[in-house]
Structures are given as structure tokens and as C-alpha cells.
Amino acid sequence: MSAIVWTAAVSLAVWCWLLLGQGFFWRTDVRLPPRREPGEWPSVCVVVPARDEAAVLPASLPSLLAQDYPGRAEVFLVDDGSRDGTGELARELSARHGGLPLTVDSPGEPPRDWTGKLWAVRHGIALARARDPEFLLLTDADIAHAPDSLRSLVAAARTGDFDLVSQMARLRAESPWERLVVPAFVYFFAQLYPFRRIGRRGARTTAAAGGCVLLRTDMAERARIPDAVRHAVIDDVALARAVRANGGHLWLGLADRVDSVRPYPGLGELWRMVSRSAYAQLRHSPALLLGTVAGLALVYLVPPLAVVAGAVAESASACTLGAVAWAVMAATYVPMLRYYRQPLWLAPLLPFTAFLYLLMTLDSALQHYRGRGAAWKGRTYARPDAVPDEG
């Protein structure tokens, strides 16, 4: 057998394992678990770190203020050095829409050993602790919540005795590039962190989605959140690991009515969204980078290349193996496309999207070695102890 046939056979074998042995990552039916409303609703404080979010706040903050929550709840928006009037706009929206009480405050610039977002979260949690809440909802400034979002999260946490309940917000997928890239982003995340495994007690698979995390306050104190993860660029996964390390019970799934309103109209915006943290995900390891590139090539690029190479070389075996692997790949992507309400003809294009992610990962590593590191909202973090660069 030729090298291309062997490679196509290995790729197909990997896809058979991914289909059946990786926690059924491709299924999209992991939603909030069964829940019942408690007899007495616990108090909740909502912490929203916000940096230069004036463009999205009108579509997100009113949804938080309008939460239909039977217990005591309050919102703390932490203005992380915004230069676009985020804090003032938040106060205006609160005065206009009413609803839950809103406190807007600013922590000042973060120390050199903190990422800016986590420094803002720390400040918000410190403000919230004066209210002695049972739960903290950590949510990003671009996340819009349905009116029953908070009560559903609390009911799920109480019913399942979870210390952390997180929902992967549905990202915007309206522009052509968003349609191509965004569903794949969540698909790849689920492949790395199968949601079904995360909810099991003592499971090794651990993750959360930073846009929507309900956390028990006593667990936050026990796990030293966010101090224990103050360096983290990928703060949601780091937070979940800290909770798990302290014996916490976690749940993560897809959201039905929690949506990101942040637009990514062009490839450049999506590229920066992925590349700013891709190499951090690989722990800045050249070995992991090489392994990731090789893995992406074997799993996603080999099937279509085998079909083309087999056709050129008149190798029926290469064509068949490549086509079957490609078909399995596309089939596993269909549920995510349906979840995002996208046309199914995008499924066979997954190899092209994976190639874009491969290039984004390489670019992330290149930026790291050029000294720029992860970047977001005008700050860059070249290494955990780096001073933020206000670019």
C-alpha cells in the first residue's frame, strides 16, 4: 500500500475513534440539566468586567437588568479602564431601563502579575461579597441573557448540587466569515473538552465558558478565585480547573437563550479572536504546537487530499478511504451547524476552516515569539509576568 493510502487509513481510524470514543463531542443536546425551583431563592451577585464595550452594552446590559429572578440579585459592572464611556453608558442604561440594582465601579490599572479582565473580576467579587451572596454570576459584557436565564442557572445548580454551572453562549454567526468560522470554533472546543464528561464528579475533563459562569461564593473563596488564576489568558478553563482541584462539581453545556452580541464581520476580527490565545492554549510549548499542527493536518486535511491524490494516481483505495473519512467528519459537524441554524453545505468545507485555524495557531505562536503575546482591548501579555502593554 502507498503512503497516501496508509495515511488515509490512519485518518479514517482516528475519525472512527472521534465519532465513538471522544465523549460524543459532536452531539449538541447537552443543555441545562433537569432542575426544580427551590423553595427559597438564594441571593446572587452578577459581576460584569467591561473594557471599551459601549458598542455592545445597549444590546446586553438591559437583558441582565431585566432578569426575572424571585430572589435578591444585584449587578456589578466593573469598568476596566475604558476609553469609550462604558461606565457612563451603563449608568444611563440602568436609569432608562430600571430592573436589578446596578453598581458601576473601576479598579484602576491591574498589577503586573494580573491579566486585566481577572483584575476587574476580582474587584467585582470584592464588591459583591459585601452583600454575602450564595452565588456569583460571572458574565461578559457582550452576553445577552433571556429573562429567565439567572433563575434557570440557579435552579440547575441547586438541583444538581453543582459548584459551577456554565453555558457556552451562542456566538453571532451572521456574516459570511462568521458562518464559516464560528460554529467550527465551538465544535473544536467541544472536541477538546467533551461536555458530557465535564459534568461527572471526579472527571479529568474540565472546562467552562467564560461568558456565562454561575459559581458558588464559598467555592470561589475555597479555590481562591480569581487570585489563583490571575495570570491566565484563557481564564474560563483555568477557573474551572481551580474549582475542580478543590473538589468542585461542574457542569458545562450549550445555551439556548444566552447569546453573544459581539460582531465579527470580517476574517481579521475572527483571526485576532482565535490567535490571541491559541498558543496560550498550548502552554507556549513548541512540542505541543508541532503535535497540534500534525494532528490538524492528519485529521482534517488528509481526507480531502487523499481523495484528490487518489484520483490523480488512480488509487481507488486512497479515494475511498479519504472520502469515507471526509464523510464522517462532515457528519459530525452537522449537529453544530443545525444548532447555529446554518446551511448544511458548510459541513464539507470543514477541512478549509480547519486549515484557517491551523494558520491562526501558527500566527499565535509567531506573535508570542515576537514578544507581543496575547492581545485584547489594547493590552498585550507576552508572558505570565509581563507588564501589560497599552498599545
Cell numbers linked to 150: 439567572
What is this structure's pTM? 0.93
| Domain segments of the chain as ranges | 3-24+269-368, 44-263
| C-alpha–C-alpha distance, residues 323 and 316, integer Å | 10
Encode the chain (391 residues) as per-residue pLDDT tens digits.
589 999 999 999 999 999 999 999 999 999 999 899 999 999 999 999 999 999 999 999 999 999 999 999 999 999 999 999 999 999 999 999 999 999 999 998 888 888 878 999 999 999 999 999 999 999 999 999 999 999 999 999 999 999 999 999 999 999 999 999 999 999 999 999 999 999 998 889 999 998 999 999 999 999 999 999 998 888 999 999 999 999 999 999 999 999 999 999 999 999 999 998 899 889 889 999 999 999 999 999 999 999 999 999 999 999 999 999 999 999 999 999 999 999 999 999 999 999 999 999 999 999 988 876 555 566 565 544 343 333 2
CATH class of 44-263: alpha beta
For 248-261, the DSSP string reads: --EEEEEEEEEEE-
